[in-house]
Amino acid sequence: MEIKDSDIFVVGYGGWVLLKREHSGENYQNHQSSVPSLSGTLLQVTSASVTRTTQVPTLNSYYLPFLESDTAKSPIRVGPNLYTFSGELSFEVTDGVLDELFHSDFFSRSSWFWVEFFDGQNTVVMSNCVWSSVSITCGANSIVTMSMSFQSNNGYHNNLNVVKANVNPSISYKESDLLVPYWTCGHEGFSEFSMTFNRNVTPIFLNNDLQVPSYLRPGLIDVSLQATTIEYVENWNDNLNIHVGSQHGIRLITSNLMSKQYNMSSMTDTGPKTYTWNSIAMNAEDSIFTIY
């Protein structure tokens, strides 16, 4: 498995990233013949990249005798290369981002999304993307940010869909899409917090002519929350409601306080108290969080 520089696309100065969420249950799109220009939400990215990784199917010789003559020198290549695609995004949270992502659809196992990148010179479109990790970070006197890792089958293309021009020149940021203030986020008493959703995403290759995954299989979601307070809180409710903006948020339905740390104050801080939660249901069919 080898990653080459030509297989990496990084957004640079003057670039933008467009993200479009598809509804849960929508079929994957096949764009081997043409790549569409998308509509969606512009992300105010701080960093972004997509990567194509090559996997070479091989077999090893079953017989390696003691003598060096006429013995195997290398594994045997037994088929065409297989390709997987992945990406990472870090961006500032705006009202438009919350309206696009804060839906139960985005966190369901059957949902997927598109991303379109422009780095000031070239554009790349990657479809059939499934997230594997989503994190939200918020602290006093700082911008609320999100980061996301995802996998994709790239619309059944073997190569990155890089176009030598901006395929959507009319795109512009909306002046009304404002940044989300940090003081509208969190829970009463939080001075800062970070929430992370993780799940395994497995690329599935079937017995067909494709050299990319036929589909992506997401696993169960693990959710964790870490928060810092100034005052020590002895007990927390199991049902934790974490605001993200004035109209959206995440509610941990069956939160478990996994750890709490009490620090001694010093001349340089106020002795912050740190707490860590996860959410685990009593029944496998029950939800562990809700998005609103």
Residue 3 has pLDDT above 60, yes or no: no
Residue bearing tokens 């998005």? 291
Instruction: Provide the pairing of β-strand 162-163 with 113-118.
Output: unpaired
For 67, other C-beta atoms within 10 Å of its C-beta total: 7
Residue 1 has pLDDT above 70, yes or no: no
Residue 278: pLDDT band (50, 70, 90) is very high
Render pLDDT for 191-215 as a digit per residue (tens, 0 to 9): 999 999 999 999 999 999 999 999 9
Q: Give me the pLDDT at residue 235, please.
A: 86
Q: Sign of dihedral through CA atoms 16, 92, 226, 216?
A: negative
Taking the C-alpha atoms of residue 272 and residue 30, their distance in angstroms, rounded to an integer, is: 51
Give residue 35's identity as a one-letter amino acid code. V
pLDDT, averaged across the chain: 88
Residue 262 burial (C-beta neighbours within 10 Å; 0-12, 13-18, 19+): exposed
* Annotated domain spans of the chain: 5-30+38-56+78-164+177-291
pLDDT above 70: percentage of residues in the chain:
89
Q: Give me the pLDDT at residue 185, please.
A: 96
Lowest mean per-residue pLDDT among 141-155, 243-257, 263-277:
263-277
Q: Give me the pLDDT at residue 276, please.
A: 96
Arithmetic mean of pLDDT, 35-42: 75
Across the strands, what pairs with 21? 113
Render pLDDT for 126-165 as a digit per residue (tens, 0 to 9): 999 999 999 999 999 999 999 999 999 999 999 998 887 6
List, in sequence order, every beta strand (DSSP E) within 119-221.
123-139, 145-152, 162-163, 190-198, 201-204, 215-218
Q: Sign of dihedral through CA atoms 98, 101, 105, 108?
A: negative
Q: Which of 102, 123, 143 is nearest to 247 (CA)?
A: 102
79 phi/psi in degrees, rounded to 5: -175, 180
For 168, other C-beta atoms within 10 Å of its C-beta total: 17
Q: Which of 182, 169, 196 is nearest to 252 (CA)?
A: 196
Residue 80 has pLDDT above 80, yes or no: yes
Q: Which one is predicted more confidently, 231 or 267?
A: 231
Helices (H), the chain: 95-101
Render pLDDT for 16-31 as a digit per residue (tens, 0 to 9): 899 999 988 888 988 7
Residue 271: pLDDT band (50, 70, 90) is confident
Q: Which of 50, 58, 49 is nearest to 1 (CA)?
A: 58
Rounded to the nearest angstrom, the gap between the alpha carbon of residue 179 and the centroid of all alpha carbons in its chain is 20
Render pLDDT for 89-99 as a digit per residue (tens, 0 to 9): 999 999 999 99
Tokens encoding 88 = 């990472």
Q: Give me the pLDDT at residue 166, please.
A: 59
Taking the C-alpha atoms of residue 188 and residue 192, their distance in angstroms, rounded to an integer, is: 11
pTM metric for this prediction: 0.87
Q: Which one is predicted more confidently, 265 or 282?
A: 282
Residue 260: pLDDT band (50, 70, 90) is very high
Residue bearing tokens 């069919």? 285
